[in-house]
Chains A and B, each alone.
Chain A
Amino acid sequence: AQKITQTQPGMFVQEKEAVTLDCTYDTSDPSYGLFWYKQPSSGEMIFLIYQGSYDQQNATEGRYSLNFQKARKSANLVISASQLGDSAMYFCAMREGVKAAGNKLTFGGGTRVLVKP
């Protein structure tokens, strides 16, 4: 079974509008962390935002916010006021067993976002 599922392979969004990228995850570990990364065409993975499984509030970082619904096992990324520079691939990733040894991130298949002027 896929541990991280991103169902939207590609999306168009109008500049200055908000966009929501879907991410669902599967784990039996009570302790885990969820990450979103942005990958421009240059290839580098840029960290955007983090949500811990025990965090009571949804994470926010500037124009990025995470809609964390633990019971539904979803961690959707919301980008507000989209800019042309937001055009990129976006990956959702999970690390299970935060306090266990190992630092493995499991990634989803990604969503390509294209911002239209």
Chain B
Amino acid sequence: DAGVTQSPTHLIKTRGQQVTLRCSPISGHKSVSWYQQVLGQGPQFIFQYYEKEERGRGNFPDRFSARQFPNYSSELNVNALLLGDSALYLCASSTHSGRAIDTQYFGPGTRLTVL
């Protein structure tokens, strides 16, 4: 079975530009979460989407937005890029079944470099 997939793998942008990152969850998973991992730190939660609705939002500016499609894939958009947005962006999917064990499975990430 295919795991979580993300595209592109790497991306180089300049300050002020906009970027769109894409994620396809594991088949059968309806929840997608996005995390930002700056070099040398643990991941930070950005968004969670479940059934196309935003279910959680981390402490990120409005330049960050996301959406989920009917097939449960998701896009993360970042506008007006800053140097500090350079990071590994991780997507995770889960069943979000409401059971106690609802493990999130991560994709390989998109490494964004802002110059």
Contacts and interface: CB of A to CB of B under 8 A. Distances in A.
- A and B: partners? yes
Interface stretch (B16-24, B72-80, B99-107): B99-107
A103 B104 contact: yes
Contacts of A117: none
Contacts, number: 74
Given A101-B56, A109-B42, A44 B109 contact: yes
Interface in B84-107: 88, 90, 92, 94, 96, 98, 100-107
B24 to A, nearest CB: 15
A103 B48 contact: yes
B43 A99 contact: no
A26 to B, nearest CB: 15
Tier of interface size on chain A:
20 to 34
Contacts of B100: 33, 52, 54, 98-99
A50 interface: yes
15 contacts: A33-B101, A44-B106, A46-B106, A50-B101, A52-B101, A91-B43, A95-B102, A99-B100, A102-B48, A103-B102, A103-B104, A104-B33, A105-B35, A105-B43, A110-B42
Interface of B: 31, 33, 35, 41-45, 48, 50, 55-56, 58, 88, 90, 92, 94, 96, 98, 100-109, 111
